[in-house]
Structure 1
Amino acid sequence: MTGVPEEILSTTRTHAVADAEPLDRKLPLVVLSPGHSFSRSSLTGLAEDLASRGYAVAAVDHTYEASAITFPDGRITECLICETKPDGPTIARSRAIDVSFVIDELTGSGLIDADRIAMAGHSLGGAAAAHAVREDPRIRAGVNMDGTFQPELTEDLDRPFLMLGADKHGRPGADETWDASWPHLTGWKRWLSVAGTAHSSFTDYSILAEQLGIDVGGEPMTGDRTAQITRAYVAAFVDLHLRDRPQHLLDRPSPRYPEVRFENP
C-alpha cells in the first residue's frame, strides 16, 4: 500500500478501545500471528470478532519481522528480513518460541484460563502455528490460514488443526505442503478451501485494499465476505475445541457459505 497518504491509514477506525478493564474471570486465549512482514494489525478484524465472543486475544508482532514495532519504552525496531528471502522454517520455529513466551507472560497475569489456549496464524504465521501446537502442550488447537507449512509436516501432530485457505487442491502452482502435511495431522482436522480468494483475503488488507482501489490478487470475492467467512470458521473451530460446543458448520458444507469446500473429507 505504498503511496497511500498516511492520514488515510492512520485514521482507520476499529471497534476496540484502549485501556479497557479486564473481566473479573479467566478467559480462554487465542494467540494470532501475522504473515511475513505483516503487522499484527492485519488481523484486527479477526481479533475483535473473537474478543466479542468472550475470548482474550493476543496478536503478536514478531521483532524484526514487521515494518515497525514500538516497544513500551519507545524503542522502534524495523524489519530486518523484509529485504531478504527469509528462511521460512527457521522463522516459523522462532515465532513458536515467541508465542510460548507470550503465553508464559499472559498466564502469569491471572486473567487467562491456561487450560484453554489456541493459536491461529496467517501465511508464515500459519506455519508457526503448526510448530507452536507441536512444541507447546498448552496450545490445544491451531489454525493455518493460507500459509505454506515450513517445513511440511513429517511427524504426526495429534492435536486439533484447521487448514483454511485459498483453493490449493489440484491447481497449477498449488501449495504441495498442504497435501504432504495432511496425513500427518492425526487428530481432529479440517481442510477448507474458499473459492474466489487470494492470499491476503484472510486479513484486513483485503478490505482496505478494496476501499483504496488496490488489486491484491484479482479474485472476485469482496473483502467483507472473506472477512465474514474467516471469522465464522475460526470462531467455530475455537468454540468447538476450547469450549466443547458442537459446531455443525465444521461437519459439512453449509448453504450459508457455499464458497467453502471441504477437501480430503
Structure 2
Amino acid sequence: MRLRGRTAVAALSAALLLATPVATAQALPGPAPAPAASAAGTVELPRPTGPYAVGTETLHLTDHSRTDPWVPESGDRELMVSLYYPARVGRPGATAPYMSTGEAEALLARLGLGDDAPALVSSLPTHARTGARTARGSFPLVLLSPGFGNPRATMTSLAEDLASRGYVVASVDHAYEAIGVAFPGGRILTCAACEAVETAPDEEAEQEVVKAVSTGRGADLSFVLDRLTGPRPAWEHSGMIDRRRVAAVGHSIGGSAAASTMLADPRVDAGVNMDGTFQERIPASGLDGRPFMMLGTASHSPGDDESWDEGWQRLDGWKRWIGVDGSGHSSFTDIPVLEDRMDVTLDPTVTLSTDRQVRITRDYVSAFLDQHLRGHHRPLLDGPTSGNPEVVFNRP
C-alpha cells in the first residue's frame, strides 16, 4: 500500500487526536500494561543511560518576523522550548515536572481515559533537574520536534537520554500545533492546525496544510538555532553549545520537519526522521551530502510510503533506512510509558515491550548522532545485530 491523500495525512497525526482509545494503523501503540506498577504510581520515565546528570530549563521564544500561520490574530509566532543539557553530578535539585495537570487534562480529554488520568500523566517522574550546574565542555546541539498534535513533553525520554550522553537538546513546541501546551499568561493553546486538517474541504487542501506544518516547523527550528547560537542568545548557558555540530530530529511530522529544516538551513549537519511521511520533497540534488536516517515501523518499509521511496533515492550522503518490527507509530515517543502508567493499551498490534521500544529509539538515534556529530564510528549502524533482532536494515 502506498500512502497518499487522506491516508498520508492520517499517518502524520499521533493518536492523541483520536476521540476514543481505539486501534488504528497510526494509533498510539502499547504493549500489555503493567497494572500493579500503574496502580502504585511507581512507573517512571526510563533512566538516562549516559555519564552526565541532566539539567533542564524552559524558554518562551517569539519570532517577531513572522505572524502565526494558524491564528494570525494572536500576533507573532511563539514557541515553547525545553532545553536539556549535560550537567555535573553532585548537589541534587528538584526534578522537572513531566507537564502540568492542566496540560495533561487538555492532552487526554479527547481520549476519554478517566478522571485520574491527568494526575497520573502530570506526576510521571522524570530525571532532569531544574537549576542543575552545566557540565564543562562544548556539546553538539539537537533540535527536536514532536509529532502532529503531540506536545514536546512526549519526547522527554529521548531528550533526557541524549543530554546524559553529552548533547544539548532543544525540544520545541510549535504554537497551535499540539493539544495541551502551556504558554505564558496561563494560556493552554488548542491545536488549530489539527482543526485545519480536519475541516479541509478536500485532499489537496489537507496536503497544503500538512506541508505548511512541515515547512513552518523548519523555519521554527532555524529560529531556535538563531536564538541559541546567534548574537545575544536567549539562553544564559548557550556557550556550552558547539554551533558547528547541529542535528534536527523529529517524530511523525516532526521527522518531515527535520528534512525541511535541512533543506532550508545549511547549518544543520544531520537529520533523523522517525516514522514521518515526507511532506516536502527532497530535491534531486539531495541534502548536499549531509547524513540522514529514516527510522520507522513496518508501514514505512520499501514500497509502502512513496515519499520514503523517493526520499531514499534522492538522499545523496550517508544514509540508513531502518525498520523496527513489532513497533507502532508512537513507539519512538513516551507514549508506551504513559500507557503503562495509565494501565491502557491503545494499539494491541504492537508486540514490543516498552523497554525495547525505548531502548531501540535511544540507541539508534544516539548512535547516528555520535557517528555524524562526533565522528565516532558506531558498528550498530553497519547492519543487523543479534542483540537487536527486531531491527531491519532496508536497502532498496
Give yes or no for contact 1:119–1:129 (8 Å, CA) kept in 2.
Answer: yes
Q: Please name the residue that 1:77 is paired with.
A: 189
Amino acid at match of 1:264: R
Distance 1:129 1:84 in 2: 22
**Residue in structure 2 matching 1:133, options 244, 262, 265:** 262
Amino acid at match of 1:129: A
**For 1:135-168, what per-residue CA distance to the aligned partner results, in whole angstroms no more than 9, with x for missing partners?**
1111100000000000332331221000000012
Distance 1:151 1:23 in 2: 37
Pairwise CA RMSD: 1.7
User: In the superposition, relative to structure 1, how do residues 208 and 75 fare at CA in structure 2: closer, same or farther (>3 Å)?
Assistant: closer
Distance 2:386 2:336 in 1: 23
Superposition TM-score, scaled by structure 2 size: 0.64
Tell whether 2:209 aligns with 1:93. no
Once the two structures are TM-superposed, the CA of residue 25 in structure 1 deviates from its matched residue by 2.8
Give yes or no for contact 1:196–1:220 (8 Å, CA) kept in 2.
Answer: yes
Give yes or no for contact 1:198–1:217 (8 Å, CA) kept in 2.
Answer: no
Q: Please name the residue that 2:311 is paired with.
A: 181
Instruction: Map 1:112-151 onto structure 2 (within 5 A).
Output: 112-151=241-280
User: In the superposition, relative to structure 1, how do residues 195 and 135 fare at CA in structure 2: closer, same or farther (>3 Å)?
Assistant: same
Secondary structure class of the residue paired with 1:231:
helix
Give yes or no for contact 2:325–2:391 (8 Å, CA) kept in 1.
Answer: yes
**For 1:71-100, what per-residue CA distance to the aligned partner results, in whole angstroms no more than 9, with x for missing partners?**
345444322122231511111000011001
Give yes or no for contact 2:255–2:276 (8 Å, CA) kept in 1.
Answer: yes
Distance 1:74 1:112 in 2: 31
Larger RCO, structures 1/2 (Cα 8 Å, 6+ apart) = 2
Moved more, 48-57 or 66-75: 66-75
**Residue in structure 2 matching 1:216, options 347, 353, 366:** 347
Q: Please name the residue that 1:190 is paired with.
A: 320
Moved more, 195-204 or 85-94: 85-94
Once the two structures are TM-superposed, the CA of residue 30 in structure 1 deviates from its matched residue by 0.8
Q: Please name the residue that 1:33 is paired with.
A: 145
Q: Please name the residue that 1:264 is paired with.
A: 395
Instruction: Map 1:245-256 onto structure 2 (within 5 A).
Output: 245-256=376-387
Tell whether 2:179 aligns with 1:67. yes
Distance 1:116 1:132 in 2: 15
**Residue in structure 1 matching 2:225, options 103, 114, 119:** 103
Secondary structure class of the residue paired with 1:7:
helix
Once the two structures are TM-superposed, the CA of residue 217 in structure 1 deviates from its matched residue by 5.3
Q: Please name the residue that 1:43 is paired with.
A: 155
Distance 2:350 2:242 in 1: 39
Distance 2:325 2:340 in 1: 18
Moved more, 203-212 or 32-41: 203-212
Once the two structures are TM-superposed, the CA of residue 55 in structure 1 deviates from its matched residue by 0.7
Instruction: Map 1:2-17 onto structure 2 (within 5 A).
Output: 2=111, 3-4=113-114, 5=116, 6-17=118-129
> Of the two, which has the highest radius of gyration?
2
Distance 1:28 1:34 in 2: 20
**Residue in structure 2 matching 1:153, options 259, 267, 282:** 282
Distance 1:160 1:25 in 2: 25
Once the two structures are TM-superposed, the CA of residue 219 in structure 1 deviates from its matched residue by 1.4
Once the two structures are TM-superposed, the CA of residue 24 in structure 1 deviates from its matched residue by 3.6
Structure 1: which 4+ aligned runs deviate by more than 6 Å?
A: none
